[in-house]
């Protein structure tokens, strides 16, 4: 039986050394940090992991390392789905399926690379479903790169009713869409997990099974409190949701490098090196240093507040 994927699911960073190699000791410490924060699952080899800039061997090794390090303590899902050519998709997804991940996540824009519509989506999906092990739980991810390909209601319902899909990382960023989707997949194994911080708490109230946005790399424990404990403290939850929403706007200021700088300060790993972002983000975005300080200070304040209730 597959593990349920729900709760707080960080989109994992990939630490690199200054000479552009995957920093596995740093990754080990990062995994320990996520676990110490009480996350419910991990999403390895996703866009935040810079998967589009990793070779297939690196993607597979990365997923395998995370699975081995976590050692069954929480579920690990992984994607690494970056190709448009169907044979390349089958090759990379088959390789990722062998890593021991609890679910293999398909990226919706690669199921319809030219945005041609549902006919192409279903044709690609059916080929992949035939090629992948039937016992392998699957997920869906509306990854924004190279373009954000949202599922239609018909596509979502079809996937849910196959019984093979256990999670959708919803990137609609729209509460009414999340709410509708929750109802569409009711009574199926598929959980809807919202990725947008601005609607994180309302989406949870509407039935979203957690949160998987980029600021799980800054303060996942605060989202965890919202998901698991906010029902008893609704006023405090609304106030926390505002802090989380405003803090997450910092994503636009050089993510994921700004998250790596944050972890560099924490001592999680040594280098801020990014393959996806070569900018000096502290210089490019003049207020970023102050914002990172404020996020750190605000996180500590909120940790105290929620610990006191």
Task: Report which of residues 302 and 1 the model is more confident about.
Answer: 302
User: Does 271 reside within a domain?
Assistant: no
User: Does 278 reside within a domain?
Assistant: no
User: Does 244 reside within a domain?
Assistant: no
Quote the pTM value: 0.97
Residue 188 per-residue DSSP state: S
User: Does 100 reside within a domain?
Assistant: yes
pLDDT tens, position by position, 6-36 = 999 999 999 999 999 999 999 999 999 999 9
What is the phi/psi pair of residue 245, to 5°?
-65, -45
Range of the domain at 164: 7-231
User: Does 272 reside within a domain?
Assistant: no
Question: For the chain, how many structural domains are there in total?
Answer: 1
pLDDT value at position 2?
A: 73
Q: Are 82 and 117 in contact (CB under 8 A)?
A: no
pLDDT value at position 1?
A: 46
pLDDT tens, position by position, 202-253 = 999 999 999 999 999 999 999 999 999 999 999 999 999 999 999 999 999 9
User: Does 192 reside within a domain?
Assistant: yes
CA distances from 151 to 3, 121, 138, 206, 260 (A): 24, 9, 15, 19, 31
pLDDT class of 199 with cuts at 50, 70, 90: very high
pLDDT class of 132 with cuts at 50, 70, 90: very high
Q: Are 248 and 215 in contact (CB under 8 A)?
A: yes
User: Does 227 reside within a domain?
Assistant: yes
Query: What is the domain-level CATH number for residue 90?
Result: 3.20.20.70
pLDDT tens, position by position, 49-61 = 999 999 999 999 9
């Amino acid at each position: 039986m597959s593990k349920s994927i729900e709760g707080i699911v960080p989109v994992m960073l990939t630490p690199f050394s200054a000479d552009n190699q995957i920093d596995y000791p740093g990754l080990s410490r990062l995994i320990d940090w996520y676990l110490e924060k009480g996350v419910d699952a991990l999403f390895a080899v996703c866009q935040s992991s810079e998967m589009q800039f990793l070779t297939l061997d690196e993607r597979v090794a990365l997923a395998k390392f995370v699975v081995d390090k976590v050692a069954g303590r929480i579920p690990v899902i992984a994607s690494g789905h970056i190709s448009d050519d169907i044979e390349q998709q089958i090759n990379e997804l088959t390789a990722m399926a062998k890593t021991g991940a609890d679910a293999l996540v398909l990226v919706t824009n690669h199921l319809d690379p030219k945005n041609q519509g549902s006919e192409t989506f279903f044709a690609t999906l059916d080929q992949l479903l035939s090629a992948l092990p039937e016992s392998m739980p699957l997920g869906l991810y509306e990854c924004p790169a190279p373009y954000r390909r949202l599922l239609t209601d018909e596509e979502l319902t079809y996937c849910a009713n196959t019984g093979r899909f256990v999670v959708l990382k919803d990137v609609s960023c729209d509460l009414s869409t999340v709410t509708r989707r929750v109802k569409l997949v009711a009574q199926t194994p598929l959980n809807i997990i919202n990725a947008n911080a601005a609607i994180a708490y309302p989406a949870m109230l509407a039935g979203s099974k957690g949160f998987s946005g980029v600021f799980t790399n800054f303060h996942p424990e605060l989202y965890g409190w919202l998901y698991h404990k906010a029902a008893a403290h609704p006023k405090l939850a609304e106030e926390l949701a505002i802090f989380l929403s405003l803090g997450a706007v910092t994503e636009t200021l050089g993510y994921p490098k700004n998250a790596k700088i944050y972890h560099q300060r924490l001592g999680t790993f040594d280098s801020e090196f990014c393959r996806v972002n070569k900018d000096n983000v502290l210089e490019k975005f003049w207020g970023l240093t102050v914002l990172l300080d404020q996020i750190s200070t605000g996180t500590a304040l909120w940790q105290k507040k929620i610990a006191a209730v």
